[in-house]
Chain A
Amino acid sequence: MDTPVGEQEIKYLLNDMLELYGYDFTDYAKASLKRRINRLFTLDRFPSFAEFRYRLRNDADYAKRFVEQITVNVTEMFRDPVFYQNLREHVLPVLATYPFIRIWHAGCSTGEEVFSMAILLKEANLLHKSLLYATDLNPQVLQKASTGIFPMSHMKQYSENYIASGGKEDFSRYYTASYNMVKFDEELSSRMVFSTHNLVSESSFNQFQLIMCRNVLIYFEKELQGRVFALFDDSLENLGFLALGSKETLKLSPIISKYRQEGKEKIWRKIH
């Protein structure tokens, strides 16, 4: 009862993606990738691997679907409320001292964390002098993120997260509900710039005071994680902050010597 798409077959698919479409997944962590690819194979009911591969090679729209489905786009607003509380209490007061604030959300997916950050900035009266760069390798999720439209059904959870993170307002003041969707205020999105950027193959494009990259690096193999940390280091101003997901760490990377962890959350500050 082995999986229909085995390791050798996955190598073929990843080579196809790289050669034909320029997406490099070859250094992604294999166990998760294998699950995602087999999930897609089953979901789209391919009778054989050959047909799966043929479709991928010959149908650019299907390649888009492949990218969208094998990358993980699970995210929520104010995920890990204590983390956001930390941003609020320890990071934003430092950012407030800058005349202009640049934040990079690397691997922003459908944008829930970018909107969470915009809300934090607004409440600290910093939004007007901030710019949030939200990037992802996948243009489809960016398109979604840029609309600021999210399902109504998630708002209860997000509102609870928001309150747990130290939010004092009525969360619903930030959006307008329409049927089963809500649209967040354009004041929030007016300070956001959405752009495709592939952490695997592209280089630094600006200097930031805060880089957020949460639950993206877990999908990469160790060596690729190291390359991305170097990219972040290149893109971070001195005394800037790097924020990772709750189970990710800078500890294994050589750049750690230039950084100091701020408190118990996964927030590091560049000190050299």
Chain B
Amino acid sequence: MAQNSLNSTQKIIVIGGSAGSLHVILYILAHLRADLTIPIVIILHRKNDSDSSLSQLMGLRTNLPVKEADDKEAILPGNVYLAPADYHLLIETDKNFSLDDSEKINFSRPSIDVTFQTAAEAYGEGVTAILLSGANSDGVEGLAIIKSLKGTITVQDPKTAQVPYMPQQAIDAMPIDQILTVEQLPVFINNL
């Protein structure tokens, strides 16, 4: 497979989730292998408070370092980054983050579409995207862009989602590479 020729600095995992996805994200984090080198970026819709307790909560589940992404921070292997509340998180082609506080997209800031699209433009076929449970369609357009730039797109099996709308929207819109249960998600990531 073409992907195997990429090394881990050319790969990235982007995970988007909304209503009903927090416990899935925590489950994934708890089951990641400790020597995973591909950076993970998590975009989770949440309330607009800027406290960092969510990244601390996530950090308790894994030995990988978890932090909120900072503006102009370099994306490093082996790290888990969380999009900060009330900003869009963008990925620059030089593999740095940048933040943007422009209008909400799909009623959301951070918007999953924005991170997915810029990840596709920066990492191309090195992107693996996972769209989880949620009640709106943020992320669906981003998945399509990732696919068009030869990335891999995965969604949580809507049957296992607390709110199946978001993954179902993606399935209805395009062919999905993998549709996985909650238990299969970390196994899939650990094998990337």
Contacts and interface: CB of A to CB of B under 8 A. Distances in A.
Contacts of A252: 72
Interface in A201-258: 215, 217-219, 221-222, 225, 245-249, 252
Contact of A1 (B87, B118, B148): B148
Contact of B93 (A30, A74, A219, A249): A30
Given A29-B98, A31-B118, A74-B102, A247 B90 contact: no
A219 B99 CA distance: 7
B100 to A, nearest CB: 4
B90 A74 contact: no
A2 interface: yes
The B interface is mostly helix, strand or loop, or mixed, namely mixed
Given A35-B90, A218-B98, A1 B145 contact: yes
B101 A72 contact: yes
Interface residues of A, number: 27
Contacts of A30: 92-93
Contact of A247 (B84, B117, B122): B84
Interface string A118-136: 0000000000000000000
A53 interface: no
Interface residues of B, number: 27
Contacts of B144: 1
Contact of B70 (A7, A80, A247): A247
Contacts of B92: 29-31
B101 A215 contact: yes
Interface string B127-155: 00000000000000000110011000000
A215 B84 CA distance: 13
A74 B101 contact: yes
B91 interface: yes
Contact of B102 (A7, A32, A222, A248): A32
B90 A2 contact: no
A32 B72 contact: no
24 contacts: A1-B148, A3-B121, A30-B92, A31-B121, A31-B122, A32-B90, A32-B98, A32-B100, A34-B121, A35-B90, A35-B114, A35-B118, A36-B102, A74-B101, A218-B99, A218-B100, A219-B98, A219-B100, A225-B72, A245-B101, A247-B84, A247-B87, A247-B99, A249-B70
For the complex of A and B, the 7 pairs showing the least CB-CB separation, nearest first, are: A1-B148, A31-B90, A29-B98, A72-B102, A32-B100, A218-B99, A31-B118
Given A219-B98, A245-B101, A247-B99, 15 more contacts: A7-B93, A29-B72, A29-B98, A31-B100, A31-B121, A32-B102, A34-B121, A35-B90, A35-B117, A72-B102, A74-B102, A215-B101, A218-B71, A218-B101, A248-B71
Interface of B: 50, 70-72, 84, 87-88, 90-93, 96, 98-103, 114, 117-118, 121-122, 144-145, 148-149
